[in-house]
């Protein structure tokens, strides 16, 4: 299995978002290393943390009136729907789904979260 770890290129420049994402990547790696008996509990914890992270991002988007909020929220909802749809007894399917999260994160960070970071920066820049 490929090593899953946070890398500097994954940072988008919003400290709270970057810290949360770094923790989530670490949590995913830790979960995938867990034995099957512990996987269900770890998955539930990961989903809870993802829900919190997504809510925080969406609150940030609402605060700045971010026009990309609906599409961004939809991506979050699709990931959560997939994870919520996993059967707790099918550890193999759950492991596979979790193993795909880092790929999704990389794409999401490089596209949607990078654009969000630019919007946050523009929103916090005083206009002349």
The domain that contains 47 carries what CATH number? 1.20.120.50
CA distance 102 to 30: 12
Quick check: is 6 in a domain?
Answer: no
pLDDT at res. 73: 97
**What does the pLDDT profile of the chain (128 residues) look like in tens digits?**
456 788 888 889 888 889 999 999 999 999 999 999 999 999 999 999 999 999 999 999 999 999 999 999 999 999 999 999 998 789 999 999 999 999 999 899 999 999 999 999 999 887 65
- All residues at 6 or more sequence positions from 103 whose CB lies less than 8 Å from its CB, including other chains: none
Quick check: is 4 in a domain?
Answer: no
Quick check: is 69 in a domain?
Answer: yes
Q: What is the DSSP string of 56-70?
A: HHHHHHHHHT-TTHH
Quick check: is 3 in a domain?
Answer: no
pLDDT at res. 125: 82
Quick check: is 85 in a domain?
Answer: yes
**Full residue range of the structural domain in which residue 48 is found:** 13-122
CA distance 117 to 102: 19
Number of domains present in the structure of the chain: 1
Quick check: is 127 in a domain?
Answer: no
Question: For 102, how many CA atoms within 13 A lie in the half-sphere containing its CB?
Answer: 20
Question: For 77, how many CA atoms within 13 A lie in the half-sphere containing its CB?
Answer: 7
Whole-model pTM?
Answer: 0.89
Quick check: is 66 in a domain?
Answer: yes
Quick check: is 5 in a domain?
Answer: no
């Amino acid at each position: 299995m490929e090593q899953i770890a946070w890398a500097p290129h994954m940072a988008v420049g919003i400290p709270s978002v970057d810290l949360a994402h770094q923790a989530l990547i670490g949590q995913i790696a830790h979960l995938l290393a867990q034995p099957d008996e512990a996987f269900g509990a770890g998955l539930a914890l990961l989903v809870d943390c993802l829900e919190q992270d997504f809510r925080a991002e969406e609150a940030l988007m609402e605060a700045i009136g971010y026009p990309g909020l609906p599409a961004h929220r939809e991506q979050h909802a699709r990931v959560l729907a997939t994870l919520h749809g996993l059967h707790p007894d099918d550890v193999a399917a759950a492991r596979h789904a979790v193993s795909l999260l880092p790929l999704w994160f990389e794409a999401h960070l490089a596209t949607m979260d990078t654009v969000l970071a630019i919007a946050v920066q523009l929103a916090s820049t005083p206009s002349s």
